[in-house]
Structure 1
Amino acid sequence: MTGKVLSFGELLLRICPDVDGQWLEENNLPFYVGGAEANVATALALWDVPTGYVTALPDHFLAQQLVDYLKSRKVQTDAIYYHGDRVGLYFLPKGKDLKNAGVIYDRAHSAYADLKPGMIDWDAVFEGVSWFHFSAICPAINQAVAYVCLEALEVAAQKNIFISLDLNYRAKLWKYGKEPVEIMPALAHHCNLIMGNIWAANKMLGISLDEELIANLNKESLLEQATLTSQEILQKFPKCSIVANTFRFDYEQGIRYFTTLYNQNELLVSHEYLAPKILDKVGSGDCFMAGLIYGYYNELDPSETLEFATAAAFNKLFIPSDATTSTVADISKTVEANV
């Protein structure tokens, strides 16, 4: 594939207070640059895929520092739209006891949340682009941003640009009176590759889920459901030819992770990874998505693509940030060690 991969989403700062409140005593508040689509863009740039990123940011020094950060990681930023006053934030505490401490979003009236159709010149933005990526987090913010997504997809489809969608579900974001299933199918209609999991596909696209079949989380049953989910997605959304699903389970003894890829009427299943302890779950799915794009962009065999993406996602679980720092060589070592 030639041309660049363009990702669209909100650039965020993740603020990480500890649950014990020690940050107040130490005047020390760790942070990371984040945002699902930015994580995809920085991973692809690290892996030498020509990569652009489009978002909306205010025109002030903080935003410029963030843009410089992306540029330093070889992400093209010339398509960023400048307006408004705020950079979006989210707070995710760190520490041992996180049971009652969930994510807190502070994204209302950010530059990205205040986007409206007609603001971004998508014809110009898509110049030289062969792949467009976005996630279900974008239309979760508000109806106007959902319309902006649709506007982008319609232009991309007209230009025969390959489109990928990550069905990441964020219950705390869908607060504007619409259920995901009322918004997402119209967007998925334009997509060539849809990634998520069997539960997200049910929640966001109305895809059937046999609760009885998967009640015990038996792997064979999960794979059967992954096949059914993938086939139904292909049937409902004819433009889609590739469906990927991730399976990550947390147990007292550690984490279990494997993925599937439905391609050309065949369900491919990745190596299953087990680990007693991880460092950071944030961005693992984004890394898997980036791995899929990397594989298809470089025309790798589908099985090779799936194993690369899965290993990339697994490696991310041990990197304390939103974006991966694993190189292609690092990921290839993980694959080779587990074949």
Structure 2
Amino acid sequence: MRKKKVLAFGELLLRISPASHEDAAGKHPMLLYMGGAELNVATALAGWNVPVKYCTVLPDNFMSKHVINYLEYKGIYTSSIVYAGKRIGVYYLERGADLKGSVVYDREHSSFSEVTTGMIDWDKVLHDVEWFDFSAISPALNQNVADVCLEAVEAASRKGITISVDLNYRSRLWKYGKEPIEIMPKLVEHCDVVMGNIWAANTLLGTAIDEHIHDKGTREAYLEHARTTSIEVMEKFPKCKVVANTFRFDSKQNDVLYYTSLYKDGQQYNSPEWTCHGVKDRSGSGDCFMAGLVYGLYNQHEPQQVLEYATAAAFGKLQEVGDATDQEAFNISRTANELTENN
């Protein structure tokens, strides 16, 4: 029997970054990538043979036609894309820099940012869907987009669709007079799966945070805090059945330490530590973890297996240039299994 689809909803963005010295030596000083948090999730899932479609808003012009061709080439269903407005959103990311540090958004008056309630026929979009995924980036744009997100999760809830949210917090986007705590809890009330970290949960959902957690600075302390935060999220939002937390620590020497946890059915599952020196691109790693989480839960894998896969995918993304991953599911699973056996 053919499985129903995963639907990813959010803004498609064009990313512009300076080229490497080698590339810039020619005629291409800037490189263009296609991304956006939810599209990155959709791209990964399509590459891992999960039936996935993508809902966004694009202008009706030649550029969007090229975008659609690319998405379909990647195996993403595009029938739910709405055409309106005049431009695709853009962001500029410094080469080799952390996403939080050197990024400039050019998203005002983009087609997606001008979406309003009633524009999207959710009954039609959700008719063949069993999983709906979105992120906290969309409701950060403006009140209208936040209202559309609420419209979407309410419609998905009525249909019994599993709903997941990535609590990715972008302080530079919350500029329309509302604090995240005024918007996000109403959305998360409908969510079955919540992914983020202890700091994002504090900012977006109001969960408790240990202000001295960095002074403790141990893996055990961070993971215990993840457990406490996960339980609090589930208590605040009874519909939530799975909470995942990620921890990534970057040094000035470009070293990375990464590990994660997942809380489900009253039990916490923790990943091994992943470390590396040298990162090709930090953008999209969290999206890859979200995709891995959806992949494992959608396919009803065991919790530890779900976590290992998502963690391996997210860490592997750090060595890929661009926003979305091209990693193969088989290689991710093999790498995760090998690391688990070695630990």
Q: TM-score, normalised by structure 1?
A: 0.95
Q: How does 1:1-339 map to 2 (within 5 A)?
A: 2-17=3-18, 26-94=27-95, 102-253=102-253, 254-339=255-340
Secondary structure in 1 aligned to 2:260? strand
| CA positional deviation for 1:102 | 1.4
What SS does the corresponding residue of 1:66 show, helix, strand or coil? helix
1:252 CA displacement: 3.8
Whole-Å separation in 2 of the counterparts to 1:233 and 1:99: 26
Shift of 1:222: 0.6
The 1:89/1:338 distance shift into structure 2, 3 A limit, reads same
Structure 1: distance between partners of 2:134 and 2:43: 14
What is the CA distance between 1:31 and its match in structure 2? 1.1
State the identity as a percent. 51
Displacement of 1:100 in angstroms is 11
C-alpha separation between the residues in 1 aligned to 2:114 and 2:270? 41
User: Structure 1 residues 338 and 100, CA, compared in 2 at 3 Å: closer, same or farther?
Assistant: closer
SS in 1 for 2:105: strand
| Residue 93 of structure 1: how far off its partner (Å) | 1.4
Determine helix, strand or coil for the equivalent of 2:291.
helix
Higher mean C-alpha displacement, 150-159 vs 10-19: 10-19
Which amino acid counterpart does residue 71 of structure 1 have in structure 2? E
Q: Secondary structure at the match of 1:262?
A: strand
One-letter code of the match for 2:51? P
Q: Which amino acid letter does the alignment assign opposite residue 335 of structure 2?
A: T
Q: Secondary structure at the match of 2:112?
A: coil
**TM-fit CA distance, 1:62:** 0.3
How big is the shift at 1:217?
2.2
Cα shift readout 1:50-103 (whole Å, capped 9, x = no counterpart): 00000000010101101110000110000000011100000001158x899710
- Name the CA distance, whole Å, in 1 between partners of 2:279 and 2:29: 23
Q: Distance in 1 between matches of 2:338 and 2:20?
A: 36
Instruction: Return the letter of the residue paired with 1:328.
Output: A
Check whether the contact 1:19–1:95 (CA below 8 A) recurs between aligned residues.
no
For 1:99 and 1:182, the matched residues in 2 are separated by 25
Q: What RMSD over aligned residues (CA atoms) do the two structures have, in Å? A: 2.0
1:245 alignment partner, SS class: strand
Shift of 1:305: 0.5
Structure 1, residues 263-295: CA drift from partner, whole Å, max 9, x if none? 111111001101011111111001001001110
43-52 or 207-216, larger mean C-alpha shift: 207-216
Q: Does the CA contact (< 8 Å) of 2:19 and 2:31 recur in 1? A: no
Q: Residues 100 and 221 of structure 1: is their aligned pair in 2 closer, same or farther, counting only changes over 3 Å?
A: closer
Residues 260, 19 of structure 1: alpha-carbon distance in 2 compared, 3 angstrom cutoff: same
Distance in 1 between the 2:297 and 2:101 partners?
Answer: 38
Q: Which amino acid aligns with 2:161?
A: I
Change over 3 Å in CA distance of 1:170–1:101 after alignment to 2: closer
- Closer/same/farther in 2, CA of residues 161 and 36 from structure 1, 3 Å limit: same
Deviation per CA, 1:209-235: give whole Å up to 9, x if none.
111244332111111110110000000
CA contact (8 A) 1:192 1:240 kept: yes
In structure 1, distance between residues paired with 2:217 and 2:182: 28
Structure-1 separation of matches of 2:79 and 2:187: 25
| Alpha carbons 2:11, 2:56 under 8 Å: kept | yes
| 5+ residue gaps, structure 2 | none
Deviations 1:27-47 (A, max 9, x none): 531011000000000100000
Q: Distance in 2 between matches of 1:158 and 1:101?
A: 39
Report the more deviating stretch, 262-271 or 327-336: 327-336
**Aligned partners of 2:27, 2:63: CA distance in 1, in Å?**
23
Tell me which amino acid in the other structure corresponds to 2:66: Q
- Residue range with higher mean Cα deviation, 291-300 or 211-220: 211-220
**Is contact 1:19-1:101 (8 Å) kept?**
no
26-35 or 124-133, which deviates more: 26-35
